[in-house]
Amino acid sequence: MEMRFRIFRYDPKVDREPVYRNYLVSAEPEERILDCLNRIRWEQDGTLSYRMSCGHGVCGSDGMRINGRCALACQKLVKDYLGSEVVVEPLPFFKVLKDLVVDVDGFLSGVMYFRPYLISSAAPPPRERSQSPEERKKVEEVIRCILCACCTGSCPVMAENEQYVGPAALVWAYRTIFDSRDDLKLERLEAVNSQKGVWACVNHLECTRACPKEIPVTKCINTLKREIEKHRSGKP
């Protein structure tokens, strides 16, 4: 069948302003939107730029806005858009480098800001550290994050609060805070206890809707808020 695509095109080094260009692609209902973009680039217009790699929702390269929703182009199928035009745009709130390619360096530094690695002062045992399945379960959902930035691109707060690190960075903070092997829980909680951190979130829930890995992002942020309050009231 024929699918109509309207794609955001912009090279800030050359163009005065973005334009939308139209393409007609023949595609099967089970094909991915990414397959359509590839067909456009391979067969019609090699100047189109976007990122992609694994093609099945693991590497996190192809986060973009498809008909108004942030998603991975490799996880959305043609049949989800039958009968409508497909409008493809870069992730909102990110600086466009070219077409659908955005600058993710700031996003990654946001994640890095909360030191997303295990910190433990005790010398490790000769074997593995012990961790019960219940303790491990606390991070089961957040370890699915693939840093695709769909949550951050969807969050309305990003438009209002320039300081906000965004939901993905908090998911990474959550991951270390609730890892029973990490030493720095209190310090880490203090780090997210700010307007830059958890208190910027006002429960729009857009991140949770967008997350291609079905991480309950908003719930995680609220859990962090509760954990901060618990410690504040002295009843951890």
Partner 1 sequence: MVFKHDIVVVGAGLAGLRAALEAANSGEVALISKVYPTRSHSGAAQGGIAAALGNEEPDSWEWHMYDTVKGGDYLTDQDVAEILARDAPRAVYELEHWGVPFNRTAEGKIAQRAFGGHTREFGKGPVKRACYAADRSGRVMMDTLYFEAVRRGVRIYSEFQMLDLIMVAGRVAGIVVYELATGEVHCFHSRIVLLSTGGFGKVFRTTSNCFANTGDGVYLAYRSGIPLEDMEFVQFHPTGIYGLGVLISEAARGEGGILRNGSGEAFMERYAPTIKDLAPRDMVSRAIHMEILQGRGIDGRDFVHLDLTHLGEKRLRERLSDISSFVRIYLGIDPARDPIPVRPTCHYMMGGIPTDLDGRVLDAHHRPVPGLFAAGECACLSLHGANRLGCNSLLDLVVFGRRAGEAMATSLGELEWEDLPRNAQDPAVSRMKRVLDRREGDRAGVIRASLQKTMTENCSVFRREGSLEKALTEIRRLMDQYRRVKVDNRGKRFNADLLEALELESLLGLAEVIVVSAKARQESRGAHYREDFPERDDGGWLKHTLVRKTGEDPEVFFKSVRITRFEPKARTY
- For residues 12 and 96, what is the distance between their CA atoms, to the nearest angstrom? 8
**Nearest to partner 1 of 49, 161 (CB atom):** 49
Q: Which of 3, 25, 33, 60 binds partner 1 (CB under 8 A)?
A: 60
Q: Which of 6, 8, 55, 222 binds partner 1 (CB under 8 A)?
A: 55
Least Å from the CB of residue 12 to partner 1: 9
Among all chains, which residue has been given the structure tokens 């206890």?
Answer: 193
DSSP for residue 203: -
Name the burial class of residue 191, with classes exposed (0-12), middle (13-18) and buried (19+) by CB atoms within 10 angstroms of its CB: middle
CA-to-CA separations, 92 to 48, 149, 235, in angstroms, rounded: 18, 10, 40
**Counting contacts by CB under 8 A, is residue 46 touching partner 1?**
yes
**Nearest to partner 1 of 74, 221 (CB atom):** 74
**Counting contacts by CB under 8 A, is residue 7 touching partner 1?**
no
Amino acid at 16: R
Least Å from the CB of residue 229 to partner 1: 26
Q: Please name which of 91, 99, 94, 89 lies closest in space to residue 110, comparing C-alpha atoms.
A: 94
- For residues 37 and 50, what is the distance between their CA atoms, to the nearest angstrom? 9
Residue 99 · residue 183 · CB < 8 Å: no
**Counting contacts by CB under 8 A, is residue 26 touching partner 1?**
no
- For residues 100 and 184, what is the distance between their CA atoms, to the nearest angstrom? 38
**Counting contacts by CB under 8 A, is residue 147 touching partner 1?**
yes
Instruction: Please report, as residue ranges, which positions from 96 to 135 form the binding site for partner 1 (by CB under 8 A).
Output: 97-99, 101, 104, 108, 112, 115-118, 124, 126-133, 135
Among all chains, which residue has been given the structure tokens 């108004």?
Answer: 68
**Nearest to partner 1 of 16, 235 (CB atom):** 16
Residues that bind partner 1 (CB under 8 A): 11, 13-14, 30, 32, 41-43, 45-47, 49, 51-61, 75, 77, 97-99, 101, 104, 108, 112, 115-118, 124, 126-133, 135-136, 139-140, 143-144, 146-147, 175, 179, 181-182, 214
